[in-house]
Structure 1
Amino acid sequence: MLPWFTDKQFPLYLAPMAGVTDVVFRTICKELGADVMITEFVATEGIMQQDERTRKYTEFTDEQRPVGVQLFGADGARMGEAAKKIIDWKQPDFIDINFGCPVNKVVSKNGGSSLLKDCGTLASVASGVAKAVGHIVPVTAKIRIGWDEKSINAPDVCHILQEEGMQAISIHGRTRSQGYRGEANWQVIGECAESVSVPVIGNGDIASGADVKKRREQTAVSGVMIGRAAMQNPWIFREAKQYLETGETPPPVPIQERWQLITRHCDMAVNSNRYGNERQSIMAMRSRLMAYCKGFPGAKPLRQRLCTVASLMEIEDLAAEHLQSLRAEE
């Protein structure tokens, strides 16, 4: 059993999201109560070629532990070698295998959710990684419930993954063909959790503490994974823990506190050198800023201006201006 799963613990995972869950955002979510982190996925071949850009995706701090590095690929032996290299560099708490990504550029390389259609290759990938590094760190996997509505096979896939040495399985409750549309199917997630002995982490449509409590009480999952809701509201981890403890929903985070976190996130992104200079970093942050400001009073004109920001000073000025306009309306 992985140490972060106990009778008293119901871990809240931050879902790995390409372009979102970088080392900076993981730091913020950890401070706000996320229990377990997984890096953005990294390509096996990028690791094998020791590509510097790929290695950046594996970065994490000790404060973020327990943290796993997520790999994708379709060659179990190569992925096992890549996992060894990652462990030599970074010593993560676990390796996670991506069998869930729906993005075309991953699927076209026979990675991510494409392997849900090819359970033989999926088994060989899981086995290859587990045999290579499973004696050093746990190996886990993330899947979707199937390729499409006609081929929902998550319970069968979970049995295969358990047999091949996976120590935990995260399940996004949508098919690959759904993308992020429609509702997550928690009935299938629940069936999977009941049918295997390893912990199952449920993922999909978790947007509040009440959602976490509902899934904990109504399914056999051992934890939940929160993705898109955290992009807009990283406080969800803190809110969920408070709700689980007290049954009370905390009041909404004040706009001023939200702006403080937004400007801090931008400052951390610039200082991380992940995206280049200040201008490049702020431009890379624009989509994140859009998510943060969703639902703000006066959001539409605000979002139009956020499309053009290119410096920390512009963001700080915009925050001050927005807060001042809200005070004037009181």
Structure 2
Amino acid sequence: MLPWFENDRFPLYLAPMAGVTDVIFRHLCKEQGADVMMTEFVSAEGILQRDDRTRHYVDFDDAQRPLGVQLFGSDGVRMGEAARKIIDWKQPDFIDINFGCPVNKVVSKNGGSSLLKDCPLLASVAREVAKAVPIPVTAKMRIGWDSSLVNAIEVARILEDCGMQAIAVHGRTRAQGYTGLADWDVIGQVADAVKIPVIGNGDISSGVDVEIRRAQTNVKGVMIGRAAMANPWVFKEAKHYLATGTHAPHASVEERFNFMRRHCKLAIERNAHMGELPTIRSMRNRLMNYTKSIPGGKWLRQRFSQIGSVMELEDIFAAYLVHQAEHGHDQATHAEESAVESSTEL
């Protein structure tokens, strides 16, 4: 068994998200209590053909361990070669195979969730990668291609037979994308059907959610994705709830700004070759996400949509405090604003 499941541990995974879970964001989420990390997914062919462009996707520091590098592709032998190349570079704790990505540019190349329609090819990919590397191999999948092909149990058994040591199951079909609700009944059925650990993924945004899914299914861990984009403190809050049965206070406005400031400064340091303005521009969506569910979030997002420097961040925070003092939202307004924000989550 993978060591992070031993002694009845119930690990919290940070889901791999393209363009989001880079080395800096993973580091920050680790500090907040995330137990297991994965890199953004990376093309096996990209590793083999243009490693100068793709190598940065597999970068990490030891503080982020246990960490896996996630690969996608449809040629198991080539993926095994790419995995060995990655191990020579960075020695991750495990390799993860992406059988879940719904994005057209991945599916059109017969990668990601497209393999759910071709179980023999899926088996070949899993088997060849597991055979090629000396470290554990895991997989991430969706419950099926669409409502007419929900084959998660069949796929999970195949993956177990092919040497996968854990499976993360996102409770949506490829056709759903990120709409609708995750089907935790199917996730639970998968957890009952295989002997290897199953990690449940989908609609986890609080410690209560984690506790409910742990109590209602045999999953051995949960994976948190989009909720962490707006609330990276969710890992700390979840662990507090699991340990005490009580809700931890939500991150204060000051904590959020300190987090934003640190994220921006780390990004500028890492991307020194780009310069501050392009780096902060690339941070705009992230900063706007961090304002979800706090009073005056709309006011902040308007300003973050044009931010260009850390100094501006400081000025915006100072202006925000004045704005809230002069136009503070009452509880009813805040509740209404939070409801709107919740309905428009990414």
Pair in the same fold by TM > 0.5: yes
SS in 1 for 2:222: strand
Alignment of 1:171-320 (within 5 A): 171-273=169-271, 276-320=274-318
Contact 1:126 1:166 in 2 (8 A): yes
Which has the larger displacement, 319-328 or 192-201?
A: 319-328
Quote the offset at 1:146 in angstroms. Answer: 0.2
Contact 1:275 1:284 in 2 (8 A): no
Q: For 2:321, which of 316, 320, 323 is the aligned residue?
A: 323
**Structure 1 residues 23-75: Cα deviation after superposition (integer angstroms, max 9, x where no partner):** 00000000010000000000111100243221101011100000000000000
Contact 1:190 1:221 in 2 (8 A): yes
Quote the offset at 1:266 in angstroms. Answer: 0.9
Quote the offset at 1:276 in angstroms. Answer: 2.5
- The residue type paired with residue 78 of structure 2 is R
SS in 1 for 2:77: helix
Aligned residues with identical type, % of pairs = 64
Quote the residue 2:107 is aligned against. Answer: 107
Alignment of 1:13-52 (within 5 A): 13-52=13-52
Contact 1:155 1:192 in 2 (8 A): yes
Structure 2: runs of 5+ lacking an equivalent: 329-346
Contact 1:114 1:147 in 2 (8 A): yes
Which ranges of 4 or more aligned residues in structure 1 deviate by more than 6 Å? none
Quote the offset at 1:262 in angstroms. Answer: 0.8
Q: Give the 3 Å change call, closer, same or farther, for CA 8–74 of structure 1 in structure 2.
A: same
Contact 2:281 2:307 in 1 (8 A): yes
Quote the offset at 1:328 in angstroms. Answer: 4.5
Which has the larger displacement, 42-51 or 86-95?
A: 42-51
**Structure 1 residues 88-114: Cα deviation after superposition (integer angstroms, max 9, x where no partner):** 000000000000001111111111001
- The residue type paired with residue 106 of structure 1 is V
- The residue type paired with residue 27 of structure 2 is T
SS in 2 for 1:5: helix
Question: Structure 2 CA distance, aligned partners of 1:283 and 1:68?
Answer: 29
Question: Structure 2 CA distance, aligned partners of 1:324 and 1:25?
Answer: 30
Quote the offset at 1:6 in angstroms. Answer: 2.1
Contact 1:275 1:281 in 2 (8 A): no
Contact 1:71 1:79 in 2 (8 A): yes
Quote the residue 1:118 is aligned against. Answer: 118
SS in 1 for 2:3: coil
Question: Structure 2 CA distance, aligned partners of 1:327 and 1:253?
Answer: 19
Q: Give the 3 Å change call, closer, same or farther, for CA 253–189 of structure 1 in structure 2.
A: same
**Structure 1 residues 144-182: Cα deviation after superposition (integer angstroms, max 9, x where no partner):** 000001100000000000010000000000000000000
- The residue type paired with residue 300 of structure 2 is L
Q: Give the 3 Å change call, closer, same or farther, for CA 246–268 of structure 1 in structure 2.
A: same
Contact 1:33 1:238 in 2 (8 A): yes
Contact 1:72 1:99 in 2 (8 A): yes
Task: Please tell me whether residue 157 in structure 1 is matched to residue 145 in structure 2.
Answer: no
Q: Give the 3 Å change call, closer, same or farther, for CA 42–275 of structure 1 in structure 2.
A: farther
Q: What is the aligned residue count? A: 328
SS in 2 for 1:128: helix
Quote the offset at 1:326 in angstroms. Answer: 2.5
Which has the larger displacement, 115-124 or 82-91?
A: 115-124
Which has the larger displacement, 103-112 or 304-313?
A: 304-313
Contact 2:16 2:38 in 1 (8 A): yes
Which has the larger displacement, 176-185 or 248-257?
A: 248-257
Quote the residue 2:87 is aligned against. Answer: 87
SS in 2 for 1:245: helix
Quote the offset at 1:324 in angstroms. Answer: 3.2
**Structure 1 residues 185-234: Cα deviation after superposition (integer angstroms, max 9, x where no partner):** 00000000000000000000001000000011110000000000111111
Question: Structure 2 CA distance, aligned partners of 1:287 and 1:52?
Answer: 27
- The residue type paired with residue 286 of structure 1 is R
Contact 1:256 1:323 in 2 (8 A): no
Question: Structure 1 CA distance, aligned partners of 2:22 and 2:325?
Answer: 34
Q: RMSD of the alignment, in Å?
A: 1.2
Question: Structure 1 CA distance, aligned partners of 2:266 and 2:59?
Answer: 15
Question: Structure 1 CA distance, aligned partners of 2:318 and 2:166?
Answer: 45
Question: Structure 1 CA distance, aligned partners of 2:239 and 2:183?
Answer: 24
Structure 1: runs of 5+ lacking an equivalent: none
